[in-house]
Chain A
Amino acid sequence: MRTAVRGRRAPSRPIRRGLAIIGFAIICSVRVGAAPFIPDRDEQVLEHIPTRLNATLLELRALRVRLAQQPSNLSLATQLARGYIEIGRAELDPRFFGYAQAALKPWWGLPSPPPEVLVLRAILKQHGHDFASALDDLEALLQQNPRHAQAWLTSAVILQVQGDHRQALAHCASLIYLPGSYFLGTACLGKSLSLSGQADKAYDLLRELLASKPDAPERERLWALTVLAEAAARLGWSKQAELYFQQALSLGLRDGYLLMAFADFLLDEDQPARVAKLLIKETRVDGLLLRLAIAEKRLGSSGDEHVASLKGRFAASRLRGDKVHLGDEARFTLHLLDDPPTALKLALANWEVQREPRDARIVLEAALAARDPAVAKPVLEMLNQSALEDVRLAALAARLKPVRQ
């Protein structure tokens, strides 16, 4: 009564609401434990740059200076772009893809740039998940030069990510007959077969390929082993999957996708402790940090700091309008924030762009958790159509069906 009598003493409801909103905004804008500060000592280290890059970065910086003097020098520009793309790949750092794009600036916006630029542009667009535009570039390239192995491979991989395995198979097959591309073409074929109802056949094909070409480049062997391990995992053959993941890891090359796929496998096998050990130093890479945080949650150890950090990164990515993270963000929202409805929305948005087994899975998991099986229907239909064999997806689909009736 008293507070109602004097609006002046207690702020009225709209004002309280306003204050609450302002307060919330302040809390949101302040990151955990963060405020700008002035360091105490000159020696205080603020940021690390991987020293292994020092030489390369210096070299590229010199190249960039030369390019600045002659910006339309095509061979200089593509050399610089390729250098940055390589670092970006090794470090899983998208900044370098931006630097690569800058090097290609004079040609970037052209409808038909020279083939050397076209292929790099497609790779960079693929990396930014601009799949349609990347495929256009690659098609243009293949029309000019039907024997362009890189173009066949890149478009095959994009088609695989989009779930178009029939077309992907054709692209992989075209690759096999080009000189020097037999190994990659066959691995590519194996991947598409394993995702389109011929998993047994793909498994044998990949094993034979690895056995018959022991001298294939390590990078290529690593890819084939990863594809093989994932195929085995989908078939439910855990022992074999573990074996091939270990073989891939033992090559000693840094590969983010391999780490991610192996972590997912271990989480499915209910071995979070091994995930935590595997990824403990990978906190800078969002996708790996996500798996680490999930493992920590399952172990009951405190991963609050990692959860807060992921929250901030996803928020920043949304601010800048990126869609690259939707699948991971859906998984984060479902498993670490326990918000199934939001997770489902994100998972469905991601499904519009990417249709790999991983992307189907988060939709089904979120639909189950949100008790909204109807929205998973298109995903289930597509899984039926593609005849994808995946024991975990099949189990989820089976759990969704009785809910639907």
Chain B
Amino acid sequence: MRRLLFLFLGLLSIPAFAHKPSDSYLKIALEGSTVQGQWDIALRDLDNALGLDANGDGAITWGELRRRHREIAAYAFSHLTITGKGETCAPRVREHLVDHHTDGAYAVLRFEALCPKPPERLGISYRLFFDLDPQHKGLLNLSHGGQTHSAIFSADQDTQVIEFLGVNRTKQFLAYGWEGTWHISIGYDHILFLLSLLLPAVLKREGNRWRALASFREASIDVLKIVTAFTVAHSITLSLAALEVIALPSRWVESAIAASVVLAALNNLYPLVFGRRWVVAFVFGLAHGLGFANVLTDLGLPKGSLLLSLVGFNLGVEVGQLVIVSVFLPFAYRLRDSWSYQGVILRFGSALIALLACVWLVERSLGLSFS
């Protein structure tokens, strides 16, 4: 009893503070069917399990640790199982290193594990030290496709199953869709090109004069033709470029885009093509598609879900386009008969667009910067 009371007294005096408890850090990155891992295990814990201090001098040296590497790897990996699609991903230690964490030195095991097939979910069963120290925890950090998951292994929960693709695919799709919308909303050259083609859509040409269209339907059909042609064209080149079928230097592409804006705007001042503006939309739309592809390349396309991201991005662009058209059309239709629309907005606006696009054209083709 005396002994117990003695023991207890110390405990009651240290309610809150102590060393950091025992943790290991397991970092895993999954790419395709390969798992790249790094596992940091405290030397103190390994010493408790395997007895590292060979000469018993109270110091664990690199030599003492090095001579036990094989044994440590065997011990560690007999307490860790990684499975993909129900099959074990066999681990192989690549490197043994050392690191210092806030509470002392850790053995660092860098390893690689090959799964039979690229897994959609990874099952990890972690049993290290639980038999010796039920308060030990394994802190997992898993990254896959730009996403990271963290989880904690404990004696009560020694298995974690982490699913990626289901959730990720939707997220990825939406993320790329958002990028597409975002890009068109800040890509003034695309907007101005489209607007230049759409400005006359609520009008018709009679001799050398503009006249207001009588019906909304007529105007809508014209808009629809232009937007569809533009969409089809840029979808084609966007896909071809993203799939690496065609590749053009971005300087050419950007210059062609600027030129397209100049021509589309000038066409409103000196109409050459009127009824078939959708053809213009299609031809230059091909160049704009290559421009979108450059953005997509910079974003980086995930290898596993290329098509999904491509479609997401393209749909995002269409959504942005739709917003522009749905704001523009009612507004233009209402004002179409006024002097301000035909005189100020159409002529002056087109002139301004042409001028701005000329500046872009020079900048981009010569690699200069005026603004």
CB <8 Å contact, B371 and A255: no
A39 adjacent to chain B (CB < 8 Å): yes
1/0 contact trace for B137-157 toward A, CB 8 Å? Answer: 101010000001010100000
1/0 contact trace for B1-30 toward A, CB 8 Å? Answer: 111111111111111111111110000000
Q: Which residues of A contact B3 (CB under 8 A)?
A: 82
* Nearest neighbor of A126 in chain B, beta-carbon distance: B11
Docked pose: A4 CA to B187 CA in angstroms: 7
A24 adjacent to chain B (CB < 8 Å): no
Q: Which residues of B contact A45 (CB under 8 A)?
A: 59-61
CB contact between B250 and one of A8, A42, A127, A324 (< 8 Å): that residue? A8
Docked pose: A82 CA to B99 CA in angstroms: 33
CB <8 Å contact, B186 and A4: yes
Q: How large is the interface on B (under 10, 10 to 19, 20 to 34, 35 or more residues)?
A: 35 or more
Docked pose: A181 CA to B11 CA in angstroms: 17
CB <8 Å contact, A5 and B188: yes
CB <8 Å contact, A47 and B7: no
Docked pose: A45 CA to B57 CA in angstroms: 11
Q: A47-B60, A95-B133, A98-B136 are in contact. Are A219 and B10 (CB under 8 A)?
A: yes
Q: Which residues of B contact A327 (CB under 8 A)?
A: 16
A285 adjacent to chain B (CB < 8 Å): yes
* Nearest neighbor of B294 in chain A, beta-carbon distance: A8
Residue of B38, B141, B299 most packed against chain A (CB within 10 A):
B299
CB <8 Å contact, B14 and A12: no
1/0 contact trace for A38-62 toward B, CB 8 Å? Answer: 1101111111111100100010010
A108 adjacent to chain B (CB < 8 Å): yes
CB <8 Å contact, A328 and B16: yes
Q: Which residues of chain A from 1 to 26 have any CB-CB distance to chain B below 8 Å in the complex?
A: 1-2, 4-8, 11-15, 25
Q: Which residues of chain A from 275 to 324 have any CB-CB distance to chain B below 8 Å in the complex?
A: 284-288, 290, 309, 312-313, 316-317, 319-322, 324
B47 adjacent to chain A (CB < 8 Å): yes
CB <8 Å contact, A94 and B98: no
Q: Which residues of B contact A313 (CB under 8 A)?
A: 20, 102-103
Q: A14-B182, A285-B19 are in contact. Are A184 and B65 (CB under 8 A)?
A: no
Q: How large is the interface on A (under 10, 10 to 19, 20 to 34, 35 or more residues)?
A: 35 or more
User: Within the complex, what minimum Cβ distance (angstroms) separates A157 from chain B?
Assistant: 4
CB <8 Å contact, B188 and A4: yes
Docked pose: A85 CA to B10 CA in angstroms: 10
1/0 contact trace for A55-98 toward B, CB 8 Å? Answer: 00010010000000000000000000010011001111111011
CB <8 Å contact, A320 and B182: no
User: Within the complex, what minimum Cβ distance (angstroms) separates B216 from chain A?
Assistant: 33
Docked pose: A269 CA to B135 CA in angstroms: 38
Q: A14-B179, A31-B102 are in contact. Are A92 and B18 (CB under 8 A)?
A: yes
* Nearest neighbor of B135 in chain A, beta-carbon distance: A98
Q: Which residues of chain B from 25 to 47 have any CB-CB distance to chain A below 8 Å in the complex?
A: 38, 40, 43-45, 47
B183 adjacent to chain A (CB < 8 Å): yes
B194 adjacent to chain A (CB < 8 Å): no
Which of A148-156, A234-242, A366-374, A383-391 contacts the other chain? A148-156
CB <8 Å contact, A94 and B135: yes
Docked pose: A256 CA to B17 CA in angstroms: 9
Residue of A7, A38, A286 most packed against chain B (CB within 10 A):
A7
CB <8 Å contact, B14 and A256: yes
A110 adjacent to chain B (CB < 8 Å): no
Docked pose: A220 CA to B8 CA in angstroms: 10
Q: Which residues of B contact A7 (CB under 8 A)?
A: 182-183, 186-187, 295
A354 adjacent to chain B (CB < 8 Å): yes
User: Within the complex, what minimum Cβ distance (angstroms) separates A158 from chain B?
Assistant: 9
Q: Which residues of chain A from 161 to 211 have any CB-CB distance to chain B below 8 Å in the complex?
A: 161, 180-181, 184
Docked pose: A381 CA to B22 CA in angstroms: 39
Which of A99-107, A337-345, A394-402 contacts the other chain? A99-107
A217 adjacent to chain B (CB < 8 Å): yes
1/0 contact trace for A125-153 toward B, CB 8 Å? Answer: 01111000000000000000000011001
Residue of B98, B133, B183, B294 most packed against chain A (CB within 10 A):
B133
Which A residues form the contact surface with B (CB < 8 A)? 1-2, 4-8, 11-15, 25, 29, 31, 34-39, 41-51, 54, 58, 61, 82, 85-86, 89-95, 97-99, 101-102, 105, 108, 119, 123, 126-129, 149-150, 153-154, 157, 161, 180-181, 184, 217, 219-220, 223, 226, 255-258, 260, 284-288, 290, 309, 312-313, 316-317, 319-322, 324-325, 327-328, 354, 356
Q: Which 9 A-B pairs have the closest CB atoms?
A: A287-B17, A42-B63, A257-B13, A98-B133, A98-B135, A51-B58, A89-B10, A36-B97, A312-B102
Which B residues form the contact surface with A (CB < 8 A)? 1-23, 38, 40, 43-45, 47-48, 51, 53, 56-63, 65-66, 96-105, 108, 110, 131-137, 139, 141, 148, 150, 152, 175, 178-179, 182-183, 186-189, 250, 254, 291, 294-295, 298-299, 360, 369, 371
* Sampled A-B contacts (14; CB under 8 Å): A2-B369, A6-B187, A31-B101, A42-B63, A43-B63, A47-B105, A99-B132, A154-B12, A286-B19, A286-B20, A325-B16, A328-B16, A328-B17, A354-B15
**Additional A-B contact list (5), CB under 8 Å, known A149-B1, A286-B18, A322-B21:** A6-B254, A12-B186, A14-B179, A82-B4, A356-B15
